[in-house]
Amino acid sequence: MSGHRSARTRLIAASILGIVAALVAFGVIITVRYRDGLEQRLRTDLTSGASALRAVRTPAALKSVIASLAAEGISVDLAGITARGGTLQSTPGAALLTVRELIPVGGSDVPATLTGSRAGIDRQVRSLEVTEAIGGVIALTLLAALARALVLLDRAAVDARASEAAMRTFLADASHEFRTPAAALQATAERLLREQPPRPARDAIEAQLARDSRRLGHLIDDLLNLARLDARERPHRESVDLADLATAAVAATLTADPAACVELVTNGAVPTTGDPDALLRAVRNLLDNAFAIADTVVVEVTQTAKGPTMSVTDNGPGVPADQRERIFEPFVRLPRSSRAGTGLGLAIARRTLESHGGTITCDPSPTGGARFTLRLPADS
Amino acid sequence: MGAPIGRVVVIEDEQPVRDAILAALRAERFTATGFEDLPRPADALALAPDLAILDVLLPSGNGFALARLLRERQELSIIFLTARDAVADRVAGLELGADDYLVKPFALEELMARVRAVLRRRGAIPRVLEVGRMLVDEEHGFAARAGRELALTSTELRLLAFLMRHRGQALSKDQLLTQVWGYDAYDHNLVEVHISALRRKLETNGPRLIHTVRGIGYRFSP
């Protein structure tokens, strides 16, 4: 999946770079052509200025032609007149084009030099460049936004694919989990029909039917619990004493199996907020889970710096390091673990804690068993 | 009815399913042995099975791998059982050369029909069912009594075959309904009508074969 994402994102980045390079090249071409155009026009202006000067017959007309030429960035240097009139200045440097002409002034031909200044062209080109730069920035901003949108869209598509795949896996797992007790029920019921066994054997087979029906019932209950946890965003909230909750969970375990070896360690009330039924179910799931593989369980409730905490520690074989996160996924069981449970207990416990703003983690206990630690936010 | 023929190993971790399969196999006089987890191939092969009925998902591994190991050492038939009906799984099973593939939950009679078909194909059991002077060839839909062909409908043939396979046992109408007609049939009349038709065709010039067992149902004995 991540390979998918980076490939798509790389493609988007490459396209954006391509567009930027094309824009820059386009800008350069526009600038060069613009400058060429301006120079061409100046050259035309100089030529037509020169013919205007040639046509001049009076000093007044000469002055007005020179003034209008100056307005177009063309200075005229009349070798003989500059000193007399004092109004004509040649523009120093930046000569673009020079046209020499002999013009009739006061009855005699005077050599004149027309000079078009590059300064005007430079100014106009610079202003074009500024416009291009502003346009470029705007285009880049738009492109960046577009790229971001594309990347986000891509990520959303990848996430959607991933969640679709997760849903498909979940459905395949769930159907497997349903088929197993259903197969047992059907096979056992058929056996009863086919064999018509006498009393003691019949009782054993009927007890098996009852067990498988219960198993199917538990599975349906747990799936519904999980679905409710997924559907509801905020749990019902009331003040809950974690110590009371642990006591109730241990009592329920002892009711189910009076011989269970479970130790409860509490030290006064540990208040938190949440749905007591949901939290009790989560803790009971942890206890059921522990007793499926261990024979001694210690439940400890403490108020730590991180808030209300409960730990459930067993003396079983422990959970391998690479499985300590996986076991919270639905229907994930450790190899060789009991098949009796629904495979949803830990998933339900984790979703319950998460919906309460808490956490649940699995660590090794100092003696090698498993320790599940629940942390909840303090009572607010 | 002679020496037991057809040796079957059943490798299935769900005890109720395994027990039901073993009971059904033994009721038809097959030699059946169960394993609740992957056996060592040698242990399974020590029984010289004709057929292995193998669950795909076992506690300590998957049945596909075991099937490959068994096949490498001995030619035997394999029927996979699975709770997953993904096409990929079916393909994997059949590519391994599985003879058949059954998705849970399944009807026992359906599994038994496939077991018989597989065993017949490899010659581990006779192609025809013979009890006394009655002969039924399920594959070819042929039935004969004392060498004379009987004109039976396919339902009558299936009913007769089921009665013959469970010869000597009293079978209830419910049993016959579910095992011959399937699970959607509820009408006992269906059984009665077909039994009387069978009797007419079978017993017109011979002794009674299908006996009424008062309060229970019927029993086939020659």
Contact yes or no for A183 and B60 at CB 8 A: no
At B88 the pLDDT is 65
Contact yes or no for B16 and A208 at CB 8 A: yes
> Is B176 found in the same domain as B94?
no
Round to whole Å and give the CA distance between B70 and A46. 102
Residue A336 pLDDT > 90: no
Name residue, tokens 């988007």.
A12
Q: A302 and A309 in contact (C-beta within 8 Å)?
A: yes
Q: Which residues of A touch B13 (CB under 8 A)?
A: 339
Pairing of strands B7-11, B31-35: parallel
> Is B151 found in the same domain as B46?
no
| Per-residue pLDDT tens over the stretch A263-303 | 999 999 999 999 999 999 999 999 999 998 888 999 999 99
Contact yes or no for A193 and B178 at CB 8 A: yes
Contact yes or no for A183 and B83 at CB 8 A: yes
> Is B162 found in the same domain as B90?
no
**Strand arrangement of the beta sheet that strand B170-172 belongs to:** B170-172, B217-220, B210-213
HSE (side-chain half, CA atoms, 13 Å) at A33:
6
Name the pLDDT band for A8 (thresholds 50, 70, 90).
confident
| Per-residue pLDDT tens over the stretch A102-114 | 666 666 666 677 7
- Residue B205 included in any domain: yes
At B59 the pLDDT is 79
Q: Does B117 touch chain A (CB under 8 A)?
A: no
> Is B16 found in the same domain as B107?
yes
> Is B140 found in the same domain as B95?
no
3-state secondary structure of B44: helix
At B50 the pLDDT is 92
Residue A36: its H or E element: helix A2-55
> Is B86 found in the same domain as B20?
yes
> Is B112 found in the same domain as B95?
yes
Same fold, A161-229 and A233-375: no
At A350 the pLDDT is 94
At A59 the pLDDT is 72
At A270 the pLDDT is 92
- Name which residue leads in pLDDT, A96 or A189: A189
Contact yes or no for B108 and A176 at CB 8 A: no
Residue that terminates a domain, selected from B70, B97, B121? B121
At A40 the pLDDT is 82
CATH code where residue B80 lies: 3.40.50.2300
* Torsion angle in degrees (nearest 10) through CA of B206, B209, B213, B219: 180
3-state secondary structure of A296: strand
Name the pLDDT band for A1 (thresholds 50, 70, 90).
very low
> Is B164 found in the same domain as B105?
no
> What is the 8-class DSSP label of residue A330?
T
> Is B190 found in the same domain as B101?
no
Residue A324 CB neighbours (<10 A): 16
Q: Rounded to a whole number, what is the distance in Å from the CA of A189 to chain B's nearest CA? A: 9
At A298 the pLDDT is 95
Residue A81 pLDDT > 80: no
Nearest CA in chain B to A207: B16
Residue that terminates a domain, selected from B98, B121, B144? B121
| Correct CATH for A161-229 of 1.25.40, 1.10.287, 3.40.50, 1.10.10 | 1.10.287
Out of B17, B21, B84, name the one closest to residue A176 (CB): B84
Round to whole Å and give the CA distance between A377 and A355. 11
> Is B101 found in the same domain as B42?
yes
Q: A180 and B104 in contact (C-beta within 8 Å)?
A: yes
Question: The whole model's pTM is what?
Answer: 0.62
> Is B199 found in the same domain as B95?
no
What architecture does CATH give domain A233-375?
2-Layer Sandwich (3.30)
Name the pLDDT band for A122 (thresholds 50, 70, 90).
confident
Considering its fold, how many domains does chain B have in total?
2
Full domain range(s) for residue B100: 7-121
> What is the 8-class DSSP label of residue A94?
-
* CB pairs < 8 Å spanning A and B: 82
3-state secondary structure of B59: coil
Every domain of chain A and the residues it spans: 2-141, 161-229, 233-375
Find the length of chain A.
380
- Residue B1 included in any domain: no
Name the pLDDT band for A371 (thresholds 50, 70, 90).
very high
Round to whole Å and give the CA distance between B132 and A85. 147
Contact yes or no for B16 and A180 at CB 8 A: no
DSSP β-bridge partners for residue B31: B7
Burial of B25 (0-12, 13-18, 19+ CB in 10 A): buried
CATH code where residue B216 lies: 1.10.10.10
Round to whole Å and give the CA distance between B171 and A256. 41
- Name which residue leads in pLDDT, A319 or A231: A319
Residue that terminates a domain, selected from B71, B88, B121? B121
Q: Which residues of B touch A182 (CB under 8 A)?
A: 104-105
Q: A289 and A338 in contact (C-beta within 8 Å)?
A: no
Name residue, tokens 């261990």.
A294
pLDDT (tens, 9 = 90+) of chain B, 222 residues, equals: 444 478 999 999 888 999 999 999 998 889 999 998 888 888 888 888 999 999 988 877 888 888 888 888 888 999 999 887 666 666 676 777 788 888 888 888 889 999 998 998 888 888 888 888 899 998 888 999 888 899 999 999 999 999 998 888 888 898 898 888 877 777 888 899 999 999 999 888 778 899 999 988 999 988
- Name which residue leads in pLDDT, B5 or A161: A161
- Name which residue leads in pLDDT, A79 or B43: B43
- Residue A320 preceded by cis peptide, ω within 30: no
Closest residue by Cα to residue B10 from B84, B79, B68, B82: B79
Contact yes or no for A179 and B19 at CB 8 A: no
Q: Rounded to a whole number, what is the distance in Å from the CA of A313 to chain B's nearest CA? A: 25
How far, CA to CA in Å, does B24 sit from each of A18, A98, A111, A119, B8? Answer: 72, 115, 128, 106, 12
Closest residue by Cα to residue B7 from B27, B42, B32: B32
3-state secondary structure of A287: helix
Q: Which of A87-96, A192-201, A346-355 has the lowest mean pLDDT?
A: A87-96
Residue A374 pLDDT > 60: yes
HSE (side-chain half, CA atoms, 13 Å) at A107:
0
Residue A148 CB neighbours (<10 A): 11
Contact yes or no for B27 and A191 at CB 8 A: no
At A62 the pLDDT is 75
- Residue B194 included in any domain: yes
Closest residue by Cα to residue B17 from A196, A189, A172: A189
Out of B16, B83, B103, name the one closest to residue A187 (CB): B16
Burial of A101 (0-12, 13-18, 19+ CB in 10 A): middle
Instruction: Tell me the two tokens of residue B202.
Output: 């079978």
Name the pLDDT band for A95 (thresholds 50, 70, 90).
very low
> Is B109 found in the same domain as B33?
yes
